[in-house]
Amino acid sequence: MGEELEKVKKEAAQIIEDSQKLPRLVVFDLDYTFWPFYCECCYEDEMPYLYPHAMGILQALKDKGIDVAIASRSPTPDIAKTFLDKLGIQSMFVAQEIYSSWTHKTDHFQRIHRKTGVPFSSMLFFDDEDRNIQAITKMGVTSILVHRGVTLGALRQGLKKFAEKSSSSRT
């Protein structure tokens, strides 16, 4: 496991280095984006696990000085936070907006913006639900739909889209 993690982390770091423009904040959904399950279908005493590339990507972002946050509409925030703790990554996030909501994460992003001061145009977001991607994109956040969790390919796509959007908005 350690060798694979280092390989992913190294590749993620290279993807980040090769990017023309970097976001100040990368925001992740949890369920089916960071890990392959819904928290509400689990028990706190279970041992969680991440998608294969998630930890390496997270560590590479942190090593490159890019802040990370969570926006999750989980009805069981206590389980989500326990899982982050068990994985030893809870302290890596500058903001954790984990709560049930009828909105498409717009409240989550308003709170993240207030906590961090990072403008929406300087954020990159990964989620597995198209409705969240659409709503958050309208706020000015570069958003990437993932199908089987966050991957190196999704990171590459997200950073490319972020750079393209940043260069086209500068006039």
Per-residue pLDDT tens digits for 42-54 = 999 999 999 999 9
29 is catalytic: yes
Q: Which two tokens stand for residue 146?
A: 């993932």
Q: Which domains does the chain have, with CATH numbers?
A: 2-169 (3.40.50.1000)
Q: For residue 119, how many other CB atoms are within 10 A of its CB?
A: 12
From 18, 29, 63, 128, active-site residue: 29
Q: Which two tokens stand for residue 4?
A: 């694979």
Is pTM beyond 0.85? Reply is yes
Fill in the DSSP letter of residue 121.
G
From 31, 67, 127, 128, active-site residue: 31
Instruction: Give CA torsion, residues 121, 114, 98, 165, to 10 deg.
Output: 0
Q: Which two tokens stand for residue 136?
A: 């958050």
Mean pLDDT of 19-46: 95
Positions of E strands within 79-122: 93-98
Per-residue pLDDT tens digits for 97-135 = 999 877 779 999 999 999 999 999 999 999 999 999 999
128 is catalytic: no
Q: Which two tokens stand for residue 79?
A: 């389980």
Q: With cut-offs at 50, 70 and 90, classify the pLDDT of residue 70.
A: very high
Mean pLDDT of 61-66: 97
